[in-house]
């Protein structure tokens, strides 16, 4: 069967990075050092009684897929990956076979896949502290167990991702899709879960003012999650694309703050005072109580700390290259910086539930509109066109793109 494969090693990494200034991003998709290509692979088989075989229906193309293909990720995470791998982790599919240990599910059930490969999926009985706390995405055994290293389905050599018509998943990864929820919306369960977990971990108090940097898929879903979980919070967004900015306003943002007027407008919104240092960028005293940076580069993170109020919390949602930070605002204003990665168990309305379940329930009830973000669908064979659309989202008025196997 055809599948979209990513592969890199040290010589290829050096060669591709060296050729990029001359050939541009096409070096990663064409020629002898390309990282991504369509390949033939055998149909996977279930590993044990705890695994199910899934027929893929949709798989979303994520910004992290693009970062992987363009070699933007930090090498720090390389011990927790294994290549070559079949990419794709935003998956909805149908169970076509299962082992006897996959209880609560039947052949024919439509499921969303939690891509996390924690201790349980790895066959490790003595779970690590993260898995015991219900956060398997942050498992300490990501390079151990009975499967290859890999933080999640889609960057693991032994578990192919959703950019293939057939895949396998452990029972701990399966979440049944409610009958009233469209499969297009269900394909966004994973990014909705990321956004919800982000807000659960940095939840605004009544009257707080929040800033979301970036109005793409995750940024938009963070806006919707804040609006759902903290309806009294005023939400501002920084997003240069008119199409994405308009969508953010439609989904619950109060205003769009222009990048070139960010300090002046932020001070107006929050009642803060702008100060100009002897050298360098402005800094606010006062500012936003919560900031969610879905871009995560040096410019946005440094700006976030300068816009964040005393005792405020910055959630670093975007995953990118190494950054250089001026930490003066961090100590001066006693701020908190939180990493954002994955999802798991949380307490909502007095009940402990998995964030995937909450995401599915919120989408079914119309409290989060994920389907409105789906703008393009592609066949797997047209992956180069999909990549081009994602590299030029404003031009194509694209938000979320899906590979469809229907």
Give tens-digit pLDDT for 122-154. 999 999 999 999 999 999 999 999 999 999 999
Contact 139, 124 (CB under 8 A): no
pLDDT given for residue 196 in this prediction: 98
First-residue to last-residue Cα distance in the chain = 15
pLDDT given for residue 274 in this prediction: 98
Taking the model in full, what pTM does it have?
0.96
**If phi over 0 gives left and psi between -120 and 50 gives alpha, with beta otherwise, what is residue 397?**
left
Nearest to 290 by CA among 196, 207, 192: 207
Residue 169, strand partner residues: 52
List the domain boundaries for the chain.
2-188+370-404, 191-339
How many angstroms separate the CA atoms of 188 and 217, rounded? 9
pLDDT given for residue 74 in this prediction: 82
Say whether 112 sits in a helix, a strand or coil.
Answer: strand
Contact 92, 183 (CB under 8 A): yes
Query: Which CATH class, in words, describes the domain spanning 2-188+370-404?
Result: alpha beta
From residue 209, alpha-carbon distances to 237, 271, 312 in Å are 11, 10, 10
pLDDT given for residue 300 in this prediction: 96
In this structure, how many other beta carbons lie within 10 angstroms of the beta carbon of residue 339?
A: 11
Say whether 292 sits in a helix, a strand or coil.
Answer: strand
- For residue 127, say if its preceding peptide bond is cis, omega within 30 degrees of 0: no
What is the CATH number that goes with domain 191-339?
3.40.50.720
Nearest to 328 by CA among 289, 281, 369, 269: 281
Give tens-digit pLDDT for 186-215. 999 999 999 999 999 999 999 999 999 999
Token pair for 191: 């990014």
Query: Which residues lie closer than 8 Å to 83 by C-beta, 6 or more apart?
Result: 6, 7, 8, 9, 155, 157
pLDDT given for residue 158 in this prediction: 93
pLDDT given for residue 309 in this prediction: 98
Query: Which residues lie closer than 8 Å to 124 by C-beta, 6 or more apart?
Result: 141, 144, 145
pLDDT given for residue 406 in this prediction: 83
How many angstroms separate the CA atoms of 315 and 5, rounded? 31
Contact 60, 188 (CB under 8 A): yes
Contact 91, 113 (CB under 8 A): yes
In this structure, how many other beta carbons lie within 10 angstroms of the beta carbon of residue 90?
A: 29
How many angstroms separate the CA atoms of 98 and 102, rounded? 6
In this structure, how many other beta carbons lie within 10 angstroms of the beta carbon of residue 21?
A: 8
**pLDDT less than 50: residues of the chain:** none
Instruction: Check for a shared fold between 2-188+370-404 and 191-339.
Output: no
pLDDT given for residue 73 in this prediction: 84
């Amino acid at each position: 069967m055809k599948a979209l494969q990513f592969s890199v090693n040290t010589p290829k990494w050096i060669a591709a990075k060296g050729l990029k200034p001359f050939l541009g991003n096409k070096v990663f998709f064409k020629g002898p050092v390309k990282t991504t290509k369509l390949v033939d692979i055998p149909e996977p088989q279930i590993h044990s009684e705890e695994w199910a075989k899934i027929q893929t229906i949709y798989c979303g193309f994520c910004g992290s897929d693009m970062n992987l293909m363009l070699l933007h990720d930090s090498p720090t995470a390389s011990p927790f990956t294994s290549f070559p791998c079949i990419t794709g982790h935003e998956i909805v599919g149908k169970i076509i076979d299962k082992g006897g240990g996959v209880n609560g599910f039947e052949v024919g059930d439509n499921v969303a896949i939690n891509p996390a490969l924690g201790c349980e999926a790895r066959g490790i009985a003595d779970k690590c502290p993260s898995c015991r706390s219900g956060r398997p995405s942050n498992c300490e055994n990501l390079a151990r167990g009975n499967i290859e290293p890999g933080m999640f389905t889609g960057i693991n050599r032994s578990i192919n991702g959703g950019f293939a018509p057939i895949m396998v998943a452990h029972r701990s990864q399966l979440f049944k899709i409610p009958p009233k929820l469209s499969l297009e919306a269900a394909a966004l369960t994973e990014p909705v879960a990321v956004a919800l977990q982000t807000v659960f971990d940095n939840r605004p108090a009544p009257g707080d003012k929040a800033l979301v940097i970036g109005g793409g898929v995750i940024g938009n879903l963070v806006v919707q999650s804040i609006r759902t979980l903290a309806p009294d919070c005023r939400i501002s967004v920084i997003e240069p694309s008119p199409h994405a900015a308009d969508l953010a306003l439609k989904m619950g943002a109060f205003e769009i703050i222009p990048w070139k007027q960010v300090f002046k407008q932020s001070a107006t919104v929050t009642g803060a005072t702008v100060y100009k240092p002897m050298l360098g960028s402005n800094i606010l005293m006062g500012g936003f109580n919560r900031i969610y940076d879905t871009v995560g580069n040096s410019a946005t993170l440094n700006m976030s700390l300068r816009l964040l109020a005393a005792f405020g919390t910055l959630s670093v949602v975007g995953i990118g290259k190494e950054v250089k930070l001026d930490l003066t605002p961090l100590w001066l204003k006693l701020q908190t910086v939180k990493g954002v990665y994955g999802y798991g168990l949380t307490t909502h309305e007095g009940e402990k539930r998995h964030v995937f379940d909450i995401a599915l329930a919120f989408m079914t009830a119309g409290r989060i509109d994920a389907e409105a973000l789906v703008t393009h669908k592609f066949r797997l064979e047209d992956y180069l066109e999909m990549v081009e659309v994602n590299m030029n989202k404003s031009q194509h008025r694209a938000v979320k793109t899906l590979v469809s196997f229907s």
